[in-house]
DNA sequence: GCCTTCGTGAAAGAAATTTACATTTCAGTG
DNA sequence: CACTGAAATGTAAATTTCTTTCACGAAGGC
């Protein structure tokens, strides 16, 4: 999949320069883009009034390897085009618009974040997380505190003792009780809260490693052993909540998934136990999300 | 092309419920989405270590007519997903793959959820939320409890007294202190926890309206005045965290945004005050996320 | 007018997909 | 613990689809 040439564009570009019968194929395909992907070579041939062979040559004229290749590219191009054209969208009501806006912003933010992720930092973080005996997630303020809780929740399920704290004093106190082998995971979008900086510094005194999830180049990023640095443009439409928290949680998902893969057997067992412990609480015996 | 069932989602949804060998096919395809569209049935069969026929059956299990049909749908879905995820990533390192998988699953889930959202329910919920004097977010278990907190956090910023509780006893107690004009927002993926059902029932006695964010057709959905019902396929790859929580938070985002628009002036003022209260804590005077 | 070149379809050939059937596996039962 | 039946799986044949070859015919240049 080296270069993706848009096949529809290609057809338009070669329009007029193709042999007569091949041109008829092009005309037919362009006029029936949506259905074309579902048709077989012979059906297209018949519909365009030419032979199978001509259809095949047409594909090759377009730069494809054959009909198969052509069909794949056409399907892709059409799918993408329809995407832009909004498919079965009914953007009538106000709430539909809202949904489109909010979800669109989320997806955009996720993309933005994905591009910024540094795989080395991610892997270094997973190394630390997978080896940690105990993980303390620290976040301050409504948003980051919740991300911290989410992190604790995720890792707790992997069998690592994990806890989250939002209180500055408690964070400092806890940090001073940690020991080598433990890990501090500090979360802050601003990267400057004194609570977190202090906690990380205190922990470091006792040989405790630290990871931060924060703004690029922030104080907190410098202070920690591994920094996952992400810049998220704040949306200034104050009626639209920021997508940054979602992005942070997504990153924690990545870390949790990575950690789980490092210790597959353990994780399987812990999840099984947690699942088992929840069974009596529910009447539905089917597979369910763990812990609601 | 009546209804476009996203084949990738379909695979995730059936994940774990497929016969063993077919599951292997699913795993292989999901792990090689970008290439899969270019492979022939026999190549996929060999790569997954099964017979051609099993691959074909796998396609039919997914609801396709056969491999051909499957391939077309897969190509479409992948093309659309790549569109969202901004082109073929660099799948070199393990962590890159992880990121692609986790983010891909998130985006897919968000899309699925978006399709399921019922605009009438959303608008009814926003009506209730915008008119509420006080909102109590209830969730049980690690995941839903966090979603509840997130909800409280969001609405608190809009100037509505909002609180979140994860403890069943406290929920019931609180529910009995609520009055007309207050609102209960119950969150549960299973939709069956007794704590939530009780709390909603208790609140109802005192004329308190309720909203639920839960599984389609669940008990909780029936018990509440407005139900936002969403089915999220649980990912059975236990090494991969579920995306459902993110989706729930996204929905709360939509509700919060909608509520904010109903009372623009008030919200602006509250946000201004909150922002002001945080300024002394930070040296950086620029626009920042509110409350980290 | 004849030769060359290009475009075309028919049909053979190759490849891939689908179906039918036999074998294996596994859960439940006596 | 063997037996039974249903479900899952692989093998191989049948079918369909795609690709290539080849021969014919038309258009244009010498």
* Other residues' Cβ atoms within 10 Å of the Cβ of residue B178: 24
For residue B251, give both structure tokens: 């929905």
Instruction: Give, as ranges, the nucleotides of chain D with any atom within 7 Å of a protein CB.
Output: 7-12, 16-21
Q: Which of B151, B289, B290, B291 to mutate to test the interface with A (most CBs of A within 10 A)?
A: B289
Out of B79, B123, B156, closest to residue A95 by CB? B123
* Cα–Cα distance list, B136 to A250, B132, B173, B278 (Å): 26, 10, 12, 25
A91 and chain B in contact, CB less than 8 A: no
- Average pLDDT score over residue span B171-185: 92
pLDDT band at A213 (very low <50, low <70, confident <90, very high): very high
- Average pLDDT score over residue span B219-244: 77
Q: B79 to chain A: nearest residue by CA?
A: A76
Report the pLDDT value the prediction gives residue A242, as an integer from 0 to 100: 64
Whether A239 and B77 lie within 8 Å, measured CB to CB:
no
Close Cβ partners of A144 (under 8 Å, ≥ 6 residues apart): A187, A188, A189, A248, B292
Find which nucleotide's C1' atom is closest to B69's CA.
C17
Which domains does chain A possess?
7-82 (1.10.10.10), 117-279 (3.40.50.10490)
Q: Which of A88, A289, A290, A291 to mutate to test the interface with B (most CBs of B within 10 A)?
A: A289
Lowest mean pLDDT among A60-64, A240-244, B174-178, B285-289: B285-289
- Average pLDDT score over residue span B186-192: 87
Whether B80 and A75 lie within 8 Å, measured CB to CB:
no
A190 and chain B in contact, CB less than 8 A: yes
Q: Is the CB of A142 under 7 A from strand D?
A: no
Query: CA-to-CA distance for A255 and A125, rounded, in angstroms?
Result: 7
Whether A250 and B103 lie within 8 Å, measured CB to CB:
yes
Query: CA-to-CA distance for A202 and B50, rounded, in angstroms?
Result: 55
Nearest C-alpha neighbor of A62 from the set A21, A20, A9: A9
Chain centroid, CA A241 distance in Å: 19
A276 and chain B in contact, CB less than 8 A: no
| pLDDT digits 0-9 by tens, A131-185 | 899 999 999 876 788 899 999 988 888 888 899 999 889 999 999 899 888 999 9
Q: Are B103 and A106 in contact (CB under 8 A)?
A: no
- Average pLDDT score over residue span A11-30: 78
- pLDDT greater at residue A283 or residue B239: B239
- Average pLDDT score over residue span B111-135: 89
Report the pLDDT value the prediction gives residue B1, as an integer from 0 to 100: 36
Find which nucleotide's C1' atom is closest to A51's CA.
C9
Q: Transcribe B209-273 into DSSP letters.
A: EEEEEE-TT-HHHHHSSEEEE---PPP--TTS--SHHHHHHHHHHHHHHHHHHHSHHHHHHHHHH
**Which strands make up the sheet holding B182-188, listed edge to edge?**
B162-165, B134-139, B182-188, B209-214, B226-229
| pLDDT digits 0-9 by tens, A265-276 | 555 555 555 555
- Average pLDDT score over residue span A19-25: 79
Report the pLDDT value the prediction gives residue A288, as an integer from 0 to 100: 41
Q: Are A257 and B98 in contact (CB under 8 A)?
A: yes
Does residue B239 carry a pLDDT above 60? no
Whether A110 and B114 lie within 8 Å, measured CB to CB:
no
| pLDDT digits 0-9 by tens, B43-59 | 888 888 888 888 888 88
- B47 by DSSP, 3-state: which? helix
Report the pLDDT value the prediction gives residue A287, as an integer from 0 to 100: 39
Query: CA-to-CA distance for B122 and B120, rounded, in angstroms?
Result: 5
Lowest mean pLDDT among A225-239, B136-150, B159-173, B182-196: A225-239
Out of A80, A111, A239, closest to residue B267 by CB? A239
Report the pLDDT value the prediction gives residue A194, as an integer from 0 to 100: 87
Report the pLDDT value the prediction gives residue A283, as an integer from 0 to 100: 39
**Cβ-count burial A20-55 (b if 16+ within 10 Å, e if not):** ebbbbbbebbeeeeeebbebebeebbebbebeeebb
* Cα-based angle B37, B38, B41 (whole degrees, multiple of 5): 80
Mean residue pLDDT across chain B: 80
DSSP code at position B280 = G
Report the pLDDT value the prediction gives residue B185, as an integer from 0 to 100: 96
The spacing between the Cα labelled CA in B28 and the C1' in D12, in angstroms, equals: 25
Close Cβ partners of A93 (under 8 Å, ≥ 6 residues apart): B119, B123
Percent of chain B exceeding pLDDT 90 equals: 26
Out of A102, A106, A257, closest to residue B241 by CB? A257
Whether A143 and B103 lie within 8 Å, measured CB to CB:
no
For residue B204, give both structure tokens: 């109802």
- Dihedral sign of CA atoms A167, A168, A172, A173 in order: negative
Out of A94, A143, A281, closest to residue B289 by CB? A143
Q: A77 to chain B: nearest residue by CA?
A: B79
* Strands B162-165 and B134-139, sheet pairing: parallel
For residue A63, give both structure tokens: 């730069």
Out of A80, A110, A126, closest to residue B80 by CB? A80
Report the pLDDT value the prediction gives residue A267, as an integer from 0 to 100: 55
Lowest mean pLDDT among A123-127, A188-192, B15-19, B56-60: B15-19
Whether A102 and B283 lie within 8 Å, measured CB to CB:
no
Highest averaged pLDDT of the listed ranges A57-61, A225-229, B56-60, B143-147: A225-229
Q: Are B214 and B227 in contact (CB under 8 A)?
A: yes
Q: Is the CB of A114 under 7 A from strand D?
A: no
| pLDDT digits 0-9 by tens, A72-126 | 888 888 877 766 554 444 555 667 778 877 887 788 788 788 888 888 899 999 9
- A41 by DSSP, 3-state: which? helix
Does residue B204 carry a pLDDT above 90? yes
Does residue B126 carry a pLDDT above 90? yes
- Average pLDDT score over residue span B213-225: 91
Report the pLDDT value the prediction gives residue A83, as an integer from 0 to 100: 60
Q: Is the CB of B245 under 7 A from strand D?
A: no
Find which nucleotide's C1' atom is closest to B70's CA.
C17
Chain centroid, CA B270 distance in Å: 28
Q: Taking the CA of residue A58 as centre, how many other CA atoms within 13 Å lie in the half-sphere pointing to its CB?
A: 28
B212 and chain A in contact, CB less than 8 A: no
For residue A212, give both structure tokens: 């931060």
Q: Is the CB of A65 under 7 A from strand D?
A: yes
Report the pLDDT value the prediction gives residue B197, as an integer from 0 to 100: 92
Does residue B279 carry a pLDDT above 80? no
């Amino acid at each position: 999949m080296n270069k993706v040439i848009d096949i529809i564009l290609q057809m338009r570009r070669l329009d007029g320069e193709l042999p007569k019968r091949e041109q008829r194929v092009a005309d037919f395909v362009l006029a029936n883009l949506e259905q074309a992907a579902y048709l077989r070579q012979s059906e297209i041939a018949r519909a365009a009034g030419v032979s199978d062979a001509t259809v095949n040559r047409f594909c090759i004229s377009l730069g494809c390897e054959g009909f198969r290749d052509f069909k794949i590219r056409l399907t892709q191009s059409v799918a993408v085009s329809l995407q832009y054209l909004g498919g079965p969208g009914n953007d009538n009501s106000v709430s539909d618009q809202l949904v489109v806006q909010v979800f669109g912003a989320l997806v955009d933010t996720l993309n933005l974040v994905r591009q910024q992720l540094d795989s080395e930092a991610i892997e270094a973080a997973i190394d630390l997380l997978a080896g940690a005996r105990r993980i303390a997630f620290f976040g301050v303020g409504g948003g980051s505190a919740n991300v911290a809780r989410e992190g604790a929740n995720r890792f707790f399920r992997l069998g690592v003792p994990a806890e989250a704290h939002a209180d500055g004093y408690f964070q400092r106190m806890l940090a001073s009780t940690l020991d080598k082998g433990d890990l501090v995971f500090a979360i802050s979008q601003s990267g400057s809260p004194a609570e977190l900086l202090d906690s990380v510094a205190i922990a470091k005194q006792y040989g405790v490693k630290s990871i931060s999830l924060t703004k690029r180049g922030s104080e907190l990023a410098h202070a920690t052993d591994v920094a996952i640095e992400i810049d998220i443009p704040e949306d200034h439409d104050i009626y639209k909540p920021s997508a940054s928290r979602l992005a942070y949680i997504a990153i924690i998902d990545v870390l949790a998934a990575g950690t789980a893969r490092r210790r597959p057997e353990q994780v399987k067992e812990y999840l099984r136990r947690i699942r088992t412990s929840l069974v009596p609480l529910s009447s539905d015996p089917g597979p369910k999300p763990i812990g609601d």
